[in-house]
Structure 1
Amino acid sequence: MTILDKILAKKQQEITELKRSYQRHTNRKKSPVSLYRAFQQSERMNIIAEFKRASPSKGSINIDADPGIHTKMYEQFGANAISVLTDQPFFQGSMGDLQRVRQGVDIPVLNKDFILDEIQIDRALDYGADVILLIAAAMKPARLEQLYRYATELGLDVLLEIHTEEEATIANDLNANLVGINNRDLKTFNVDLATTERLAERIQNPATLLISESGMKTTADVERVQRAGTRGILVGETMMQSSDLKQTFDELRIPLHEVSLHER
């Protein structure tokens, strides 16, 4: 059984409990903000800075960080959006973390979790998320399309995560406007930036905004994925472990040079 298999099995148990106990609430203060539109307007590499306490591959990363304070610094130093990892068993996150972040920042917030059911999307909306993550490797294409349509009809952006050529085809079939290319193999948790280079050219719609996820540590890393055609990067461990967040952001927020789909 892979790490992803274990996570998904646990997530199904969580969904069963969620359906039994979760009560919808509508106290969010504003409608979702479009990450897609915000990222199209930027002249520098868009950074989705992630709040992630731990991971299955690294264990504890920054377990005691305060989500409100930490992500406010992200925003201050140049983050274009915040990702909050809310899975508890494997990443030590919570919806409380998401709530704290939403209360403290004005930029789009991504609920990053292993979403398999509509009730998780409802909860993300209730807690103030503007964007949700859907992982192509986590479900069959028909189910992925159902959840994608459900979220977008609620006004949420969807970051559709892919890792293989087959999943790139699924993204094309959905005509997804936000595609995250995960350089980390969720079955082994190995990271390879060549994944972005290989899959970016498979995305057919020139209006699709590409995000490279995982493995961003240096300016050279960002330049590499930018040449492949990305307009954004998702950065977790590098941010959570940084001893100088301003310097880290300065190194990663490189100027964007327009790269059309046909030049990728």
Structure 2
Amino acid sequence: MAEVLEKIAQNREEKIQKLGFHFGFSIPKERKAPLCPPRFDPNAPLMIAEIKRSSPSAGHIGEIKDPIALARNYLNNGANVISVLTEQDYFGGSLADLMAVKNAFKNASVLRKDFIQSPEEIAISYLAGADLVLLIVAMFIGDSKKEAIFQNILLECQKYALTPLLEIHNEEECQFALRFVNPANPSASPILGINSRNLRTFVIDKPKALHLRTKIPAPIKTIFESGIQSSFDGYLAGSFGFDGMLCGSYLVASKETGKNLQHLIKSFTLGKKHQNPFYPSVFASIYSNPTPLVKICGITDIDDAYTASEAGADMIGFILTPKSPRYISAKDVKLMSKAMNKLYPNVLKIGVITENKEELIIAKELFKEGFLDAIQLHAINPDTPDIYAGFDLKEADFNFYACSNFENLCDYPKEGVSPFVLLDSKSPQTGGSGKSIATSELKKLKNLGKKLFIAGGIGLDNIDEILCLQPKMLDINSKIEQTPGKKDKIKLKEIIHKIKTSHQLGSKETR
């Protein structure tokens, strides 16, 4: 169990011995409000908005003098469930907050979010007005006695008809939690909450949490937790098929709580509508697959698209910048995309643009019409990685990723909302130059824990050296061409074969 959990659990145990399971609060002998289990809507997220004053990772988040007023704000702006932190010493909450909120909004669903570790706490939760309770799987896994306690807690939840929200952080915890969920009857099963925060390091890894969703059967209800910092995070959660979100710090710390909540809900709904394999494929490459994804960029005719697809390419790239010698019009992208979908529906189509408003508008339309699976934002400014062509990417409702012209560590973008960063070499052309990035600089990034997505000057002459860096995605273009925009079929097939079989030939990959 992570150290922070051990400290919190030990502290709670000492307080329970001293004060009782009610922690010194006056709990009614009978429940005063009706039981309101969460209601899932296939057309909208189950939005769990949280009353949260502080946390070990963020410290003080916001002053909440009136939890009832905050709960009212949440409910008026689309929240389905109010989450109330009831842990006092680390999160500044209490059972008094929970009782106040439930008594004020008797027909609202209320989640008790705490570090519950005993079956006796379920009766207290019920009497205080909770409709759901959070159970952190990491507190019970790997110990037979604790696992027995966990099962008894679930039995108590059934006795009082409280809905358990089982919080997981990794695949081991996921497999443990799935033992207690019935996919054939999800309405009578616990909900799974995937937390993107590592409980040991407090580092947020949203791609890992999103990828974990792909390990869970679709009928099981899932909630995305932690690390929500913008509307785009809502879009990502929706696009991965989550059924809802739990959001606290982002809303509590905001001066526009209601507006941000509405935007999250809208973005989630659009993400659900735009589900496609792009991000799942990329995150699977990061966490599961032994070989990198291959993108063949600068495609200008259907023959090359077919050749690349047949050879095993995962993506093809269309350059939508008119000044590029590999430019392809939106009209031709539509025709080629339709043709590809008939023969190679699993090959992803990527639109590549430069920082131009007109190009961004065209690419967004192609994405929303289904002709593109994602947009590559080429030559993004590393100092302002969330603004592109005047557009705030934190509000994006489309699949995209940043591409940075990279020569050394100073060129790596500051932390932004892009789920990953493709690195291309620096050159006057900004792309398609055939120039490679120095592997010494890429190694420095790798040593910092960065996942490598590499473009620029990748060819048969240097592919073995690049593969030793264990990249997650390779973007190949000019070095396998006869002329700009026309691929050399022999080189194209050979380099894809090398990449796709590298793990079988004793490469140094250690995933």
Query: TM-score scaled to structure 2, two decimals?
Result: 0.48
Sort the Cα spacing of 1:19 and 1:221 in 2 relative to 1 into closer, same or farther, 3 A: closer
Partner of 1:224: 236
Sort the Cα spacing of 1:24 and 1:60 in 2 relative to 1 into closer, same or farther, 3 A: closer
What CA distance in whole angstroms lies between the structure 2 residues aligned with 1:242 and 1:236? 10
Q: Would you say 1:112 and 2:113 are equivalent positions? A: yes
| 1:17-28 equivalences in 2 (<5 Å) | 17=18, 18-19=20-21, 25-28=28-31
Q: Would you say 1:208 and 2:220 are equivalent positions? A: yes
Partner of 2:5: 4
Q: 1:14 Cα shift? A: 2.2
Partner of 1:243: 255
Q: 1:178 aligns with which of 191, 195, 206?
A: 191
Partner of 2:169: 163
Q: 1:149 Cα shift? A: 1.9
Partner of 2:372: none
The DSSP-based 3-state class of the residue aligned with 2:179 is helix
Between the two structures, name the one with larger relative contact order (CA 8 Å, sep ≥ 6). Answer: 1
CA contact 1:82–1:108 (8 Å) conserved in 2? yes
Sort the Cα spacing of 1:95 and 1:24 in 2 relative to 1 into closer, same or farther, 3 A: closer
Partner of 1:74: 74
Sort the Cα spacing of 1:20 and 1:212 in 2 relative to 1 into closer, same or farther, 3 A: closer
Query: TM-score scaled to structure 1, two decimals?
Result: 0.90
Partner of 1:191: 204
What CA distance in whole angstroms lies between the structure 2 residues aligned with 1:213 and 1:177? 16
Q: 2:158 aligns with which of 146, 152, 155?
A: 152
What CA distance in whole angstroms lies between the structure 1 residues aligned with 2:263 and 2:255? 13
Q: Which moved more, 1:89-98 or 1:251-260?
A: 251-260
Q: Which amino acid aligns with 1:126?
A: L
Partner of 1:84: 84
Which ranges in structure 1 are unaligned for 5 or more consecutive residues? none
The DSSP-based 3-state class of the residue aligned with 1:62 is coil
Q: 1:15 Cα shift? A: 2.5
What CA distance in whole angstroms lies between the structure 1 residues aligned with 2:64 and 2:50? 15
Q: 1:11 Cα shift? A: 1.5
What CA distance in whole angstroms lies between the structure 2 residues aligned with 1:237 and 1:65? 16
What CA distance in whole angstroms lies between the structure 2 residues aligned with 1:181 and 1:154? 24
Cα offsets for 1:93-136 (capped at 9, x unmatched): 11111111112223200000000012221111111000000010
The DSSP-based 3-state class of the residue aligned with 1:137 is helix
Sort the Cα spacing of 1:64 and 1:45 in 2 relative to 1 into closer, same or farther, 3 A: closer
Q: Which amino acid aligns with 2:7?
A: K
Q: Which amino acid aligns with 2:132?
A: V
Q: Which moved more, 1:88-97 or 1:184-193?
A: 184-193
Sort the Cα spacing of 1:246 and 1:26 in 2 relative to 1 into closer, same or farther, 3 A: same
What CA distance in whole angstroms lies between the structure 1 residues aligned with 2:237 and 2:64? 31
Q: 1:65 Cα shift? A: 3.0
What CA distance in whole angstroms lies between the structure 2 residues aligned with 1:114 and 1:20? 13
What CA distance in whole angstroms lies between the structure 2 residues aligned with 1:167 and 1:161? 9
* CA RMSD between the two structures: 2.3
What CA distance in whole angstroms lies between the structure 2 residues aligned with 1:77 and 1:8? 34
Q: Would you say 1:34 and 2:47 are equivalent positions? A: no
Q: 1:20 Cα shift? A: 9.3
What CA distance in whole angstroms lies between the structure 2 residues aligned with 1:20 and 1:148? 19
Q: 1:21 Cα shift? A: 7.7
CA contact 1:131–1:157 (8 Å) conserved in 2? yes
Cα offsets for 1:125-177 (capped at 9, x unmatched): 11100000001001133322221121122110000110011111111111143
Aligned length: 258
Q: Would you say 1:253 and 2:265 are equivalent positions? A: yes
Which ranges in structure 2 are unaligned for 5 or more consecutive residues? 142-146, 182-188, 281-511
Sort the Cα spacing of 1:114 and 1:82 in 2 relative to 1 into closer, same or farther, 3 A: same
What CA distance in whole angstroms lies between the structure 2 residues aligned with 1:131 and 1:117? 15
CA contact 1:55–1:91 (8 Å) conserved in 2? yes
Sort the Cα spacing of 1:166 and 1:132 in 2 relative to 1 into closer, same or farther, 3 A: same
Sort the Cα spacing of 1:16 and 1:73 in 2 relative to 1 into closer, same or farther, 3 A: same
What CA distance in whole angstroms lies between the structure 2 residues aligned with 1:217 and 1:84? 20
Identical pairs, percent: 32
Q: 1:239 Cα shift? A: 1.0
Partner of 1:133: 134
What CA distance in whole angstroms lies between the structure 1 residues aligned with 2:97 and 2:123? 17
CA contact 1:171–1:203 (8 Å) conserved in 2? no
Q: 1:234 Cα shift? A: 0.3
What CA distance in whole angstroms lies between the structure 2 residues aligned with 1:46 and 1:143? 29
Partner of 1:45: 45
Partner of 2:93: 93
CA contact 1:45–1:252 (8 Å) conserved in 2? no
Larger Cα-atom Rg: 2
Q: 1:195 Cα shift? A: 2.8
